[in-house]
């Protein structure tokens, strides 16, 4: 029965990726920089603000604890349809920083109401523990579609993103939302399977405390990966390296391609040959450190090969660490995962706010200095810590330590 719903979950994931890239992802950076004309500080502030808005997940997880997961998804899709439709028709010359801030606040709340609250519980419901790693790995493979999509967009856009280009992307996002409605209708046949059966009594704070402490090391690791694979990488390319929209879009598509290739080649090793999995991750992380160290400091020396190399390595590292982190989270599932996961995620968002704020300021410092590049140095430092984590895991597996 669970396998019959997995194709719908894959479709929901793919459509959500396309929407996210356009509204709150890489194309949003280009939209703010090249169409709305926001400064690098304004851009970094808006990017930093998104995790802060996502903290609404904490009260929402309590208020919606007895609602059906499909209903939450449906309300979210309807709200996003309305907001994106407004962004399609509004003249962009009238979009001020304040207006766009309000739009992002409302949009992020709708995201948290849907995918934010329901995604982990949905995965738990439609997969079994013994096959969950395989499903998550296969789910990542379907990002090849998103990679191909962004690659086509990079050739379509050219050097600069225009208002017409972005409205076309918003139109595709609207079609993706309609597709989500259809997929949710397919899941509707077993409506009661997706009901939250959480108890309405007092929260077991001892269980919550145990869960949070168990995830503390994962939270710290997740923060490092967040900085490495950050959307602000795109802001760094635009504001510091002064790259064209075509090269930035190529980086985004190659990042998704690296994500897919990593899950296809190294993902299957996670279950049966975990030492090989972390060895591959160790080598790729070392390669990215070398690439970033020798990355050109100006657009004239930056070619498509740098976008391809950085994108593929960055996507691969993010995918494999993401697979490891996701499985650890699911293995620690509690009797009431809906609230436990979302409160934990709220704490993770607080940490991510600091990461976004730090990275945004580092980009600003890098853009104002011709000799010193703090953003790149911190990026290398985070990758170096990931190498140490890999070595520690490999050592523990070799010696049999837990």
Predicted structure pTM score: 0.68
Count of Cβ atoms closer than 10 Å to residue 20 Cβ: 19
**What pLDDT is attached to residue 81?**
94
Q: CA 239, CA 245: separation in Å to the nearest integer? A: 12
**Ramachandran angles phi, psi of 68, nearest 5°:** -75, 140
Compute, in degrees rounded to 10, the torsion defined by CA atoms 292, 294, 297, 299. Answer: -90
| pLDDT given for residue 177 in this prediction | 94
Which three-class secondary structure string do you get for the chain? CCHHHHHHHHHHHHHHHHHHHHHCCHHHHHHHHHHCCCCHHHHHHHHHHHHHHHHHHHHHHHHCCCCEHHHHHHHHHHHHHHHHHHHHHCCHHHCCHHHHHHHHHHHHHHHHHHHHHHHHHHHHHHCCHHHHHHHHHHHHHCHHHHHHHHHHHHHHHCCCCCHHHHHHHHHHHHHHHHHHHHHHHHHHHHHHHHECCCCCCCCCHHHHHHHHHHCHHHHHHHHHHHHHCCCHHHHHHHHCCCCCHHHHHHHHHHHHHHHHHHHHHCCCHHHHCHHHHHHHHHHHHHHHHHHHHCCCCCCCCCCHHHHHHHHHHHHHHHHHHHHHHHHHHHHCCCCCHHHHHHHHHHHHHHHHHHHHHHHHHHHHHHHHCCCCCHHHHHHHHHHHHHHHHHHHHHHHHHHCCC
Q: Domain-by-domain residue ranges, the chain?
A: 3-190+204-396
What is the dotted CATH code of the domain comprising 3-190+204-396? 1.20.1250.20
Question: 230 phi and psi, to 5 degrees?
Answer: -65, 150
Token pair belonging to 346: 């709220």
- Distance, in Å, from the CA atom of 364 to the CA atom of 44, rounded to the nearest integer, reads 9
What is the pLDDT at residue 103?
A: 94
Tell me the two tokens of residue 75: 């309300």
* pLDDT tens over the chain, length 402 residues: 455 677 788 888 889 988 988 898 878 888 998 899 888 788 878 887 887 787 787 777 777 767 788 888 899 999 999 999 999 999 999 999 999 999 999 999 999 888 888 887 787 777 776 677 677 777 766 777 777 787 788 777 777 888 999 999 999 999 999 999 888 888 776 656 565 544 444 455 565 566 666 666 676 777 777 777 766 788 788 888 888 878 888 888 888 788 878 877 776 777 677 788 888 888 999 999 999 988 887 777 888 888 889 989 988 888 888 878 777 665 555 545 555 666 666 677 677 777 777 887 888 888 887 677 888 888 888 889 888 888 888 887 777 655
The dihedral of CA 364, 304, 301, 295: what is its sign?
A: positive
Tell me if 100 sits within 8 A of 46, measured CB to CB: yes
Both tokens assigned to 112? 């948290």
pLDDT computed for residue 271 by the predictor: 67
Is the distance from CB of 37 to CB of 74 less than 8 angstroms? no
| Nearest-10 Cα torsion for 362, 364, 367, 368 | -110
Does residue 242 come out as left (phi exceeding 0), alpha (psi in the -120 to 50 range) or beta?
A: left
């Amino acid at each position: 029965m669970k396998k019959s719903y997995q194709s719908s979950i894959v479709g929901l994931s793919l459509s959500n990726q396309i929407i996210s890239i356009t509204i709150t992802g890489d194309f949003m950076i280009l939209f703010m920089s090249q169409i709305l004309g926001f400064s690098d500080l304004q851009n970094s502030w808006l990017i930093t603000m998104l995790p802060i808005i996502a903290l609404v997940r904490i009260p929402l997880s309590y208020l919606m604890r007895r609602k059906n997961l499909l209903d939450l998804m449906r309300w979210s899709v309807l709200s996003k349809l309305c907001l994106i439709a407004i962004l399609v028709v509004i003249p962009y010359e009238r979009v001020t920083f304040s207006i766009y801030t309000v739009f992002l606040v409302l949009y992020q709340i709708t995201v948290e109401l849907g995918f934010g609250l329901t995604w982990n519980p949905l995965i738990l419901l439609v997969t079994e523990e013994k096959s969950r790693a395989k499903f998550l790995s296969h789910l990542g493979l379907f990002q090849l579609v998103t990679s191909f999509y962004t690659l086509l967009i990079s050739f379509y856009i050219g050097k600069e993103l225009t208002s017409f280009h972005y409205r076309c992307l918003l139109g595709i996002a609207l079609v993706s939302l309609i597709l989500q409605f259809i997929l949710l209708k397919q899941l509707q046949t077993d409506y009661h399977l997706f009901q939250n059966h959480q108890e309405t009594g007092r929260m077991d704070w001892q269980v919550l405390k145990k869960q949070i402490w168990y995830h503390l090391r994962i939270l710290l690791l997740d923060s490092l990966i967040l900085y490495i694979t950050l959307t602000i990488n795109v802001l760094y390319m635009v504001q510091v390296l002064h790259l064209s929209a075509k090269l930035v879009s190529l980086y985004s598509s190659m990042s998704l391609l690296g994500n897919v290739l990593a899950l296809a080649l190294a993902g299957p090793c996670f279950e049966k040959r975990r030492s090989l999995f972390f060895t591959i991750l160790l080598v790729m992380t070392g390669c990215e450190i070398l690439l970033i160290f020798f990355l050109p400091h100006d657009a004239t020396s930056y070619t498509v090969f740098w976008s391809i190399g950085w994108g593929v390595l960055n996507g691969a590292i993010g995918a494999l660490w993401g697979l490891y982190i996701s499985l650890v989270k699911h293995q620690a599932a509690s009797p009431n995962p809906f609230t436990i996961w979302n409160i934990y995620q709220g704490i993770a968002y607080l940490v991510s706010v600091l990461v976004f704020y730090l990275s945004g300021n580092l980009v600003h410092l890098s853009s104002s200095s011709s000799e010193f590049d703090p953003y790149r140095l911190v990026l290398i430092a985070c990758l170096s810590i990931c190498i140490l984590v890999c070595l520690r895991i490999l050592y523990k597996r070799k010696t049999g330590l837990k």
